[in-house]
Amino acid sequence: MAKAGQRKCVSCGEFFISDHRNRNRQRFCSAVGCRRASKAASQARWVNDPDNVGYFKDPTHVARARAWREAHPGHPRGSPRKSSALQDLLHPSSLALAGLIAHLFDVTLQDDLTATARLLVQLGQDFLGGGGHASSDASREGRSARQALTEARPVMSHPTG
């Protein structure tokens, strides 16, 4: 039974004390699942309102979206952005590989290490990808990666004797 000032949540059915500033309108409690249900119900009400039907299809909004896309050409649409963080490129078990790359290529900055590691990954993908079966774009990228690594590769001296 509800105590004085309590309401029953529309989503979970538990009794809760509503916020005093929103006492007459609050229908959901503060649990995470109930807040999500509240948001979904609110959005459904907004979408089904006759004033809002076709809101985002209005020529004004279409022009605004097109202008924004033209102003931000590198922003992907619907696809996640490729991370440039070294931590995303190297698995924790390959810290020795990161150290080896840093040592062999005399790299001290993390950005340089990331760029070198990406070039090595591209070279490895080209190598394991079957060589002659790659598309012209992929083989062109592979050649540029090999060229960049050749230019960055240190001259290693081997002790004789």
**Confidence bin at 42 (pLDDT 50/70/90):** very high
Task: Write out pLDDT tens, residues 8-20.
Answer: 999 999 999 988 8
pLDDT digits (tens, 9 = 90+) for 73-82: 877 766 666 6
Q: Among the listed ranges 35-39, 63-67, 104-108, 149-153, which one has the minimum average pLDDT value?
A: 149-153
Contacts for 157 with CB less than 8 Å, ≥ 6 apart: none
Cβ pair 3, 15 in contact under 8 A: yes
Radius of gyration of the chain (CA): 29
At residue 125's C-alpha, the angle toward residues 123 and 127, to 5°, is 70
CA–CA separation, 91 and 97 (whole Å)? 10
pLDDT mean over 107-123 = 81
